[in-house]
Structure 1
């Protein structure tokens, strides 16, 4: 604290150096005043600890949302395929990043995989594109299964039961809405 006080009092201190550098800036005087007003307004708001618009104001924190107790088990329908009798999950979100991608590598961008995994996952055209992309690498049939997490027991599992996936996909609590389930899966479920 003593060092900071000496720096403020001294003519060769950091504070005086910053003031001199600010004075030497090749910008109009009005702009310098605007910068000073914003700087001191933010400084004062932070010192008081209360945001005052337009200083130190972050609008996204202005209105808090009510506390909700989310479900302890969260279900996420995901596409999967079977290879050599083993279930392999096609995690679209990971496929957009080269070092995380298990199937497509450089073939997609993370903007597409984010959109396909969240906003457009219920569209048939989205599924058809993913299915064509999967066929290029030798995956002939995609199914929908359920990836689930139990937050109480911290258990994570994947259920490849196609009929259960259809039932869970109809739940309203599915994040970003239902995923598109192909017709052949619905027919296969009805046959059972």
Structure 2
């Protein structure tokens, strides 16, 4: 799971910091930390700067402009296409063995990947809502962006529920994503 690094990366980037220092501070897998950094840049949470062939990052505390938001949404849509392909390639997410209950290995990987995407989108929605409340972002623009992001999540969830229609899978999916749909609906 890559999103586990997001909060710490944002914490340690209040000032400009080199990529290798972020990786070192976060610990864990270097590729996961770098992937997390890259996603935070796409999402508009970090800005980057190059100095003498070294990459530096700093937390960005302002709303995205229209182009930045569109680029981030395109990135989310690319991940959504990948998730839809994975849903279509994974015939079942539940174990068929009557003696055991739970998700298959592929099913669990798919759910974890979708969970990370939902976490990222929820992070962006919270940020937009914050900028709306402190009046840095115009209310109609904030609401439009939140609605587009919620539709993004809803499409993935509808695809999951439509693809795994058996009662056991459907109930397991609803339980698995219960906390996240609650977070989004409460905004």
Give the TM-score normalised by the residue count of structure 1.
0.26
Give the TM-score normalised by the residue count of structure 2.
0.26
Larger radius of gyration: 1
Bigger fraction of residues in helix: 2
